[in-house]
Structures are given as C-alpha cells and as structure tokens.
Amino acid sequence: MQRLLPALLSSTLSAWPAVVLAEPPLPGGLEEPDKQAAEQPPLPSGIGTTASVGEEEAAYSPFATRGWGEARLGRRLHGDSRQRDASIAEGRLQLSLDYAGKQLTARITGDLLIDEVLDNQSFSINRGRGEFDLREAWLQRPLGERLDLKMGRQILTWGTGDLLFINDLFAKDWNSFFIGRNTEYLKAPSDAIKFSLYLDAVNIDLVWNPEFDSDRFIDGRRISYFNPAVNGLSGREITVNPAFPDAGEVAMRLYKTLGGVELAGYGYRGYWKSPNGFDPQSGRAAFTELDVWGASIRGNLAGGIANAEAGYYDSRDDGNGGDPFINNSEWRILLAFEKELAGNLTGALQYYLERMRDYRNYRDTLPPGVPQRNKNRQVFTGRLTWLTHNQNLTWSLFAYASTSDQDWYARPKLSWKATDALLIEGGANLFGGADQHTFFAQFEDAGNLFAGVRYSF
C-alpha cells in the first residue's frame, strides 16, 4: 500500500482497453461497498424530530462504528496424517470505523484472530496470516460530477457467476471457503486504486493494483493438495512456497443496462491468481503472465433470471501450449438460470466449461507420470435456498459436480437469525471423486463439519 500514493500521481488511465458490460447484483455474502455504501449514521438517542436544524447539525457526527465477535469450530470427517483433526478452531473480533463527509467517505475494518489450527504461522498482512487481518482501509471521493476515486485496501468483485468466477480476477481465499468460514471470506482484499466513470453511453471501472494480489490459495498448511512432483497428496510437510511477481495488475469493466438487460465487458492484464506454473531451475511454483478478455449478459427470462458469461484466458508465457510447466490458454463459459420455485424457496443451476487450447501440444509435452487433464472440463452447480420461521431460518445447499473429472463438492448449511444481533449456523464441506488428481477429489480428506456463533454490535 505504500506505493499507492506516488503511483496515483502518475498516469493510470493509460492502462488498456476492455469490452462492454452491465453491473450485476453480487452473490450473497460478497457485497462490495459502492459509492452509496457509507450511509449517514442515525442521530444519537435523545435527538428527536422536534429539534431545530441547528441542533441537528451540531449533534451529527460523520463517524460510525460497528463490529461483531464470532467463535467457529470444525472437525474433519476423514483422517489425514498430514493435517490436524480440527479443520477450524478460531475466535474472531471484527471492528469497523466509517467516515461519511460531504466530499469524502472512508472505512477501516480489521479482524483480530485467535487461530488454534495455525497457531504458530508467520504474520503476513497480504496473505491473511497471523493474529490480525486488515480487511478494508480505503478513502473514496468524487473527482468532478462523473468520476469517483477509491483507493486503499478494498473488497472487489464483478461478474455474474454464483461461486464461479470467470472475469472476476480479484483475490479469493479458497482456504476460508473450504474450512467453513462465512462466505464473505471467500473474497480476499486487494490493495488497489479504483476509478469509476459514469457516462450517458457507458459506465467504466478501472482498477489498478500496483502490487500483484494473489489468491490465498491452497498451499498445504490447512488443506492437503495433489502434488504432481510426488504423484500424490502433500500437506504440511511440503507446502507451496511460490515466487511472487514483482509487478502489478490492472482490470477494466464497461457496463450498461439496455431495456432491462445488463451488458458487460471486461479486460485484465496480470498473472494467474494461483500459482499455475513451475520453475525447474528454482524448483518452486510460479505465477505466470495472463491476459483475460470477456463479456457477460444478464436479464429476465421465463419468470426467472438468466445470465451468460465468457472469457478468453491468454496464457502469455506459453503462446502455443508447448511448455509443460505452464498452463495452456483456454476459453471459459458460464450459463445460468435462477428462479423462485415456491414461496421462500429459490433454485438455481449453472453450467461451466473450461476448454483448453493447443491440447495436442499439451499432451505431447506432458512429463511421464503426470496425470493428463481433459481438454474440456465441465462443471454443473445447483443451489437451493429455503427461508422458514419468518425468514429467520435459512436452509441452503450449494453443490458442484464435474462430469468430465468425475468429482464433486457439496456445501449444505443452516443459518438461524436468533435475534437481530445473534446468528448461529452450521454446515459441512463434502468432497469426493474417482481420481485423486482432479480438483475436488484431491480435497476428499479435507471434508468437514463446522458450526459458528456470531454476535453483532
């Protein structure tokens, strides 16, 4: 973040083009604060409607605080000698301070954490390790009537997928998702400068990260993973320690709503968000260069909401797919439909495709003993959400199933809003598959049950 202010004074709007788009609503739990997010806080108690304008102005404060405390526990369903039996055992306190001035809004949000699973991990504010996690620390202000600036640590998201991401190349935390933290923690923070331009013809977002923000990827510290080097699972004994790029990344979005249909276009230049390559000289995993170009559409259809999204992943370090240590370029496509099935019962389906380019070159250069990927990886997802007891009890199931990899992942969850301040929830992360090297099957030993209690204030 120390590079944001001097970088802002340099030219950032020369980044590069993108295509065209529309701003979709975000998946539950992943809401991003926007230009209206910092609302004026309510007046202090005792200030009623009979007070004069002068008294109200004198009593108003632009600052507001909020927070919550949480305890969360989880246990593995299968034995894994490479990991602890507890999948999650932590206490968390989040505190947030908002400022809402006439020309400036700001927020700082941080988590204090006691983590009994990784109690001796080294502190890293960028990797989300240690006793403190800085979630947000940003300033936002208008630069004229049509341009907004937001700079600092912020949660960023866009695209139309439900827990599937094509053109959203902002950092994710897959460890949090798979061990049973709240879904909001799937999105990791980014240290970025965001420009938002509002025009009659199209709206434009430009996001520049002076330093590359990777995913908080599966590295073996919490969850074991398939390691091609040993042709089997590795965990704490062989953790992934990649070389991180010494450069930044930039993303652009153009969006517009026409006749009730949301259109969007995206562009990204940076790196694969999780280490996708291998450097045979250093023996370390590596992030290789990546460009992504895509588009999406979303609108009403047959009494529900339909969306489609596509993106082309240009693996710039392996143009013809002939390097066995770097991911090939690929197309990614998403088709989805969501509809209310009955009162307080909603269902949704998605179809997702990854189609590898230059597959023959990939196959011909694959090292002996390394499992071969499918040219087309196909995944179906289903979501059911049922609200009962005056909508205070939420029953949900989200499941992935890959017909090409023959593996699956299911996430059932039950959430009870006991009071306005007290939330109790429990659920499971369940994995399975035919071959250990496929994406979901490699996490079968990480299957777990979890429960959490959160009190907000």
Region of 228 please: left (phi>0), alpha (psi -120 to 50) or beta: alpha
Statement: residue 6 has pLDDT above 80: no
Question: Is residue 164 included in any domain, yes or no?
Answer: yes
Quick: pLDDT tens for 312-366.
Answer: 999 999 989 989 889 999 999 999 999 999 999 999 999 999 999 999 999 999 9
pLDDT score at 167: 98
Residue of 245 and 14 predicted with greater confidence = 245
Let me know: does 13 contact 7? Beta carbons within 8 Å.
Answer: no
Quick: pLDDT tens for 47-99.
Answer: 444 445 555 555 789 999 999 999 999 999 999 999 999 999 999 999 999 99
Statement: residue 45 has pLDDT above 70: no
Question: Is residue 40 included in any domain, yes or no?
Answer: no
Question: Is residue 365 included in any domain, yes or no?
Answer: no
Full domain range(s) for residue 182: 4-33+60-328
Segment 122-139 mean pLDDT: 90
Give the CATH number of the domain where residue 209 resides: 2.40.160
Segment 216-225 mean pLDDT: 96
Residues with Cβ within 8 Å of 156's Cβ and at least 6 positions away in sequence, in order, are 32, 170, 187, 190, 192, 194, 207
Question: Is residue 306 included in any domain, yes or no?
Answer: yes
Question: Is residue 128 included in any domain, yes or no?
Answer: yes
Question: Is residue 435 included in any domain, yes or no?
Answer: no
Question: Is residue 169 included in any domain, yes or no?
Answer: yes
Question: Is residue 82 included in any domain, yes or no?
Answer: yes
Statement: residue 258 has pLDDT above 90: yes
pLDDT score at 384: 98
pLDDT score at 437: 95
pLDDT score at 48: 46
pLDDT score at 52: 53
Quick: pLDDT tens for 260-317.
Answer: 999 999 999 999 999 988 887 788 899 999 999 999 999 999 999 999 999 999 999 9
Segment 107-135 mean pLDDT: 90
pLDDT score at 54: 54
Output phi, psi for 185, to 5 deg. -85, 0
Let me know: does 155 contact 33? Beta carbons within 8 Å.
Answer: yes
Q: Taking all residues of the chain, what is their mean pLDDT, rounded to a whole number?
A: 89
Statement: residue 404 has pLDDT above 90: yes
Percent of the chain with pLDDT over 90: 78
Number of domain units in the chain: 1
